[in-house]
Structure 1
Amino acid sequence: MGVKVLAVTLVLLVLVGLWLVSRARRVDRLHRQVEQARVVMFNHLKTRRQILKTALNDGSFGADFPSDELAQLLATAPAGQSDHTGASESDISAWLVRVWDQVERENPQIAQKLRINGFELRAARRFYNQQVAQVVRLRSQADVRMFHLAGRAPMPEPFDFDDEAPRA
């Protein structure tokens, strides 16, 4: 009888161990997906900045265009991936909404690039924030907390900014 109890206990321990390993792998996989989604989102932000910088440097807009304001926004807003802030991106989005009619009138090609980028950026931000929510939900579960299955990975945070699209 003692051997049976030992065997059952051993089987249960192995099953619990396998289950914990699968949970830890899921946490790790979700963290990697969040990181990939973050890179995609920041690449879209960099692309938007690059479109605006190129248009500004090429003189693609007329004399009455608020180029100084755009230059100030682009200079104030950090250029590095890890330095992007929601406030600076919101300022750029708000500026685009204000001057959208003028952008379309003066340079339809730039307007089209910005429209496409805006759609991709909104989708990327939404996907990133959904992934973050999944990680937060999973990491808040008792087994993940109790067995420290997330390791030392920092808790990801959503990236929120005003990404209102200029009207088409």
Structure 2
Amino acid sequence: MGVKVLAVTLVLLVLVGLWLVSRARRVDRLHRQVEQARVVMFNHLKTRRQILKTALNDGSFGADFPSDELAQLLATAPAGQSGHTGASESDISAWLVRVWDQVERENPQIAQKLRTNGFELRAARRFYNQQVAQVVRLRSQPDVRMFHLAGRAPMPEPFDFDDEAPGA
């Protein structure tokens, strides 16, 4: 009888171990997906800044265009760098919405690039935040917390800013 109990206990321990390994792999996979989504989102933010910076440096806009305000906005820390905040991206979005008619009138090619980038940026931010929500939901489950299946990975945080696409 003792051998049977030992065998059943051993089988149960192996099954629980395999289950925990599969949960740890899921947590790891979700963390990697969050990081990839963050990179994509920050690349879209950098692209938007680059489009605006190029237009500003090329003199693509008329004399009455608020170029000084744009230069100040672009001087804030870009995505992925220390000091970068969602507030600075919200300021750029709000500025774009405010001057959108003038941008479209003075440079339709830049307007089209910014419109496309705006839609891609909105999708990337939403996807990133959905991935973060999945990680938070999974990491809040008792088994993940009790067995420290997330290891030392920091808890990802949503990235919120005003991503209103101009011309939408």
C-alpha RMSD of the superposition: 1.1
Contact 1:89 1:162 survives alignment (8 Å): yes
SS in 1 for 2:157: coil
Q: What's the offset of the Cα at 1:166?
A: 1.7
Contact 1:42 1:81 survives alignment (8 Å): no
Q: Matches of 1:90 and 1:107 in 2, distance apart?
A: 22
Q: Alpha carbons of 1:159 and 1:80: their partners in 2 closer, same or farther (altered >3 Å)?
A: closer
Q: What's the offset of the Cα at 1:167?
A: 2.8
Q: Alpha carbons of 1:69 and 1:137: their partners in 2 closer, same or farther (altered >3 Å)?
A: same
Deviations for 1:31-87, whole angstroms, at most 9, x for unmatched residues? 000000000000000000000000000000000000000001001343644543100
The more displaced of 4-13 and 69-78 is 69-78
In structure 2, the partner of 1:14 is 14
Q: Percent of counterpart pairs with the same letter?
A: 98
Deviations for 1:92-111, whole angstroms, at most 9, x for unmatched residues? 00000000000000000000
Contact 1:138 1:144 survives alignment (8 Å): yes
Unaligned ranges ≥5, structure 2: none
Contact 2:61 2:103 survives alignment (8 Å): yes
1:85 and 2:85 equivalent? yes
Q: What's the offset of the Cα at 1:133?
A: 0.2
Q: Alpha carbons of 1:44 and 1:124: their partners in 2 closer, same or farther (altered >3 Å)?
A: same
Contact 1:77 1:89 survives alignment (8 Å): no
Contact 2:46 2:78 survives alignment (8 Å): no
Q: Scaled by the length of structure 1, what TM-score is found? A: 0.97
Q: Scaled by the length of structure 2, what TM-score is found? A: 0.97
1:142 and 2:142 equivalent? yes
Runs of 4+, deviation exceeding 6 Å: none
